[in-house]
Amino acid sequence: MGGSKRSAGRRDFLIGSLLGAAACARSTGSRAAGPVWGPDSPDGPIDLKDPFGEGSSAMRDLTGAEHLAGLEFTGAERKQMLAELDGQLALVRQARGLDLGNAYPPAHVFDPRLPGTPVPTRAHFEPAPAQPPSPGSAEDIAFAPLTHLSAWLRRKEISSVEMTKLYLDRLARLGPRLECTVTALPERALEAARRADAEIAAGRWRGPLHGVPWGAKDLLDTAGIPTTWGAEPYRERVPRTDAAVVRRLDAAGAVMIAKLSLGALAYGDRWFGGVTKNPWNLAEGSSGSSAGSAAATVAGLVGFAIGTETLGSIVSPSTRCGATGLRPTFGRVSRAGAMVVAWSLDKIGPICRRVEDTALVLAAIDGMDPTDPATRGVPLSYRAGPARGMRLVYDPSWFAEAETPQREALGQLRELGVELVERPFAQRPWGALLLNLYAEAAAAFEALTFEGLDDQLAWQEDIAWPNTLRMSRLIPAADCIQADRLRRVAMESMRDYLRGFDAVVSPSLGGPMLALTNFTGHPSLTLPVGFVSRPTRDIFGNPAADPPGPPSRVPSALTLWGPLYDEGRLWNLGRALEGALAVADQRPPLA
């Protein structure tokens, strides 16, 4: 089977995935062209004596398709393929004729657990006790950790209505400067706050989120309230039901006060209302895609926020803005009612001002949901305790160009009694994993590509969604399977690397951990560890101007990557480091 002419490819290439965009029309006015060959061929009538001759349009298209796939067939092989392609293309037409929308899941559901993976069997949640002093100024309240807000509400030292009005005022004053608010919800919020106050007064305390104002990334459905996905084609989209996370936070008594910005279709920090800003440097974006969730939390506009991540959308804006972001294990939190980028990758998690805050929020939104087949219902286990005696592993190459606070944080961990072990991480072509993300996104946003709605998106650069989704229609299906097999290798590599350790530590955006662990499903905790002076950057961390503008004082962060379904170890490590550094108390210079 394997001559030299096929050394760059494989015979099981699904040619329909490449020719289908030209051969199959889904609806009148769609971008999909008419048949490539046949009576209605755009090149005119075919040669009935030799319909698949070397000069035919069908042969030219097939030759171009195989070149895109890195293959080379003989003329005889091409004729043989063309003689049978009609049946395969008919299957492609059937698949494209379906109208499944964005959310409907595939039959195959990703499970991050390899055979033998240990997971908690009993739920145990014991956070650190919080006994904060009485609330001070309005600004002190606005920037207080969730643990303090919760204690004040329960002790009736401040009412939920008062707290909600405080945050609504800050949203109105500072939200436009940060370009982080898509829809403010004052009426809904005050009604929920009054209900929370009445329940707390009557002794019906729902838990630590009861009465606390929060913000939702605007890809979480809210019944009767626009959920825009940050994208021009969906500005008027109004769902009929709430996302599962919204329902669970409502049940916990939390008060939703705003829908917060995201980069359009969960990419970057640019949305139809502008570019969400980093509260520490208004000349640069907040990164994304949970742009508004990170910016609003760090700026003291909400008590906490919810973000989502497919490939860095919690970690990256938390790093840029100095938030504390938790990306839970894949399958912990229901994505039902959330916009899909990739079914096997999307995760929902809290963005807060302190480590312990993320634990309180995850406890409220965690759990099995039959409407999201990826949820597993693994018990959440956490007992607040010291970090002394815990073991961390890292590849020293990840810190070769690390910022000074990131390197100093390693020394601080050692002073806390944490053992740090240097060990190289496996070298593989991990970038190939992205094929699966691109293919899933192309399916999730198929209507954008086929109906030309992608032209409405403001961001049209080569790296933006419209071009990426179009190119993704040309990914050979067999290569997606190969990428999925590489994903299994990644899962085994993470299992082996973590064996005997409590977590991995690295600069948030340095090394392969960010991308790799999104594909393996491992949890992460990102927290600020200091500040640096650097020029303004774009969403990819590159200088945003030429020459770059004057340096600004901005946060520097580390990320801890933990075992599957064991967020508790991350919280104890994070709490210890957070307490030793005292960085989280600092506030951005906003008037």
The reply to whether 397 belongs to the active site is no
In angstroms, rounded to a whole number, what is the distance separating the alpha carbons of residues 226 and 233? 12
CA neighbor of 207 nearest in space, from 146, 257, 158, 162:
146
Q: Which one of 217, 259, 277, 347 is the catalytic residue?
A: 217
Report the Cα 532 to chain-centroid distance in Å: 26
Tokens representing 129 are: 């006790």
Report the Cα 7 to chain-centroid distance in Å: 36
The reply to whether 313 belongs to the active site is yes
In angstroms, rounded to a whole number, what is the distance separating the alpha carbons of residues 377 and 257? 29
Residue corresponding to tokens 């075992």: 563
The reply to whether 217 belongs to the active site is yes
Q: Are 352 and 212 in contact (CB under 8 A)?
A: no
In angstroms, rounded to a whole number, what is the distance separating the alpha carbons of residues 465 and 454? 8
CA neighbor of 498 nearest in space, from 400, 390, 576:
390
AA identity, residue 265: L
Q: Are 256 and 189 in contact (CB under 8 A)?
A: yes
Residue corresponding to tokens 């008419």: 34
AA identity, residue 239: P
Pairing of strands 419-422, 391-394: parallel
Residue corresponding to tokens 């790093």: 319
Q: Which one of 17, 160, 287, 289 is the catalytic residue?
A: 289
**Burial (CB count <10 Å: 0-12, 13-18, 19+), residue 211:** buried
Q: Is the dihedral of CA 268, 355, 257, 322 positive or negative?
A: negative
Q: Which one of 17, 293, 313, 508 is the catalytic residue?
A: 313
- Residues annotated as catalytic (active site), given as ranges: 217, 289, 313
